[in-house]
Amino acid sequence: MKQVAKVLLFVAFGALLSFCGRDIKVKYLPDGSKELLEGTVIDGIKRVYGPEDNLTMVIPLKDSLPNGLVISYYSNGKVKEITKAVNGVKDSTSVSYYITGEKSGEVNYFMGKKDGAEKQFYPSGKLKSIQTFKMNMSNGDLKEYTEQGEIIPTAQLVVTVANKLSTQGEFIITAKLNPENKQFRLYRKYPIISETQPYTKVMVKDGVGVTEIFGTQLEESRKVEIVAIYKTPFGNSCKLIKYVMLR
């Protein structure tokens, strides 16, 4: 009965707004949430409500794509995130908040990709972490801090190079993290496969990655870039880079 009354209320509300010269449409979703569209799906404002009638998101539309400030909300009504969208993708600075209202982070975007500084904050407002990106790629300059302002050391990438005993023209590169971490991704950049795929993924087993390069693959520089990516306790992806010379 309550659900019927709720539907009738929204129908009446929509009719009232239409009478006032505004085109309002209500769409009910299977999970009990709903979407209220003011205008059209091409140019309008879409408001999304949760099953408890709480506003969860406001999305301005232009040419059928999100354009303008897209705002999401927690169930208590507090703002969760404010993001500027241009032609359907994130652009400019996106700001997120804790459920209590304090700012939790900010990320710079350009044409839908992280580009610039990404910062996280403690509820007290103090800086928790910072790193910079270029077109979604981390520059490898992640810094994390305790709430007292002390920097938290990142892991170290330990790389060793050896010649295979059977031939002097084959190099074995071994990489691991210190302190030990068995959950990390490892890549090498040499020789370059193609401009669109410059890195080769290296298999990691029990916290150790091993890759081999033949002398015939080497060019004059003989320099190899080794990249490890792992998750910190704060949930950040930390990028570690090391260059080794094959002699």
Residues 213, 141: one domain? Answer: no
Between 243 and 166, residue with greater pLDDT: 243
| Residue 161 in this model has a pLDDT that exceeds 50 | yes
DSSP 76: T
Choose the final residue of a domain: 102, 127, 152: 152
Same domain? For 197 and 122 the reply is no
Average pLDDT, the chain: 87
**Nearest-angstrom CA–CA distance, 143 and 125:** 16
Instruction: Give the separation between CA 101 and CA 84, rounded to whole angstroms.
Output: 19
Do both 108 and 134 map to the same domain? Answer: yes
Looking at the structure, tell me whether residues 82 and 183 fall in a common domain. no
| 17 lies in the same domain as 54 | yes
Residues 141 and 173 in one domain: no
Q: Which domain holds residue 175?
A: 156-245
240 pLDDT above the threshold of 50: yes
Whether 165 and 109 share a structural domain: no
Domain at 227, CATH number: 2.60.40.10
Contact at 8 Å (CB) between 33 and 50?
yes
Please state which of the ranges 20-24, 87-91, 140-144 shows the lowest mean pLDDT: 20-24
Specify the DSSP class assigned to residue 4.
H
**Which residue, of 94, 128, 152, is where some domain finishes?**
152
Do 38 and 91 share a structural domain?
yes
CB 217 within 8 A of CB 189: no
Query: Which element (helix H / strand E) includes 82?
Result: strand 79-86
Amino acid of residue 45: I
Per residue in 38-88, pLDDT tens?
A: 998 899 999 999 999 999 999 999 999 999 999 999 999 999 999 999 999
Total count of residues recorded for the chain: 247
Q: Helix (H, G, I), strand (E, B), or coil: what is residue 221?
A: coil
What region, left, alpha or beta, does residue 140 occupy, with left being phi > 0 and alpha being psi -120 to 50 degrees?
Answer: left
Encode pLDDT of 118-148 as tens digits.
999 999 999 999 999 999 989 999 999 999 9
- Give DSSP secondary structure letters for 83-111: EEEETTEE-EEEEEE-TTSSEEEEEEEET
Residue located via tokens 């009504």: 77
The answer on 204 and 119 residing in a single domain is no
Q: Give me the amino acid identity at 200.
A: T
For residues 108 and 139, give the distance between their C-alpha atoms in angstroms, rounded to a whole number.
14
Distances (CA, A) of 24 to 15, 62, 212: 8, 16, 64
| Residue at 202: amino acid letter | V
Predicted model pTM:
0.78
- 160 and 199 belong to one structural domain: yes
Residue after which a domain boundary falls, among 137, 152, 167: 152
Backbone angles phi, psi at 67, to 5 degrees: -145, 125
Is there a single domain that holds both residue 58 and residue 93? Answer: yes
* DSSP letter (8 states) at residue 46: E
For strands 156-163 and 170-178, give the pairing.
antiparallel
Structural domain count, the chain? 2
Residues 131 and 210 in one domain: no
Q: What is the pLDDT of residue 165?
A: 60
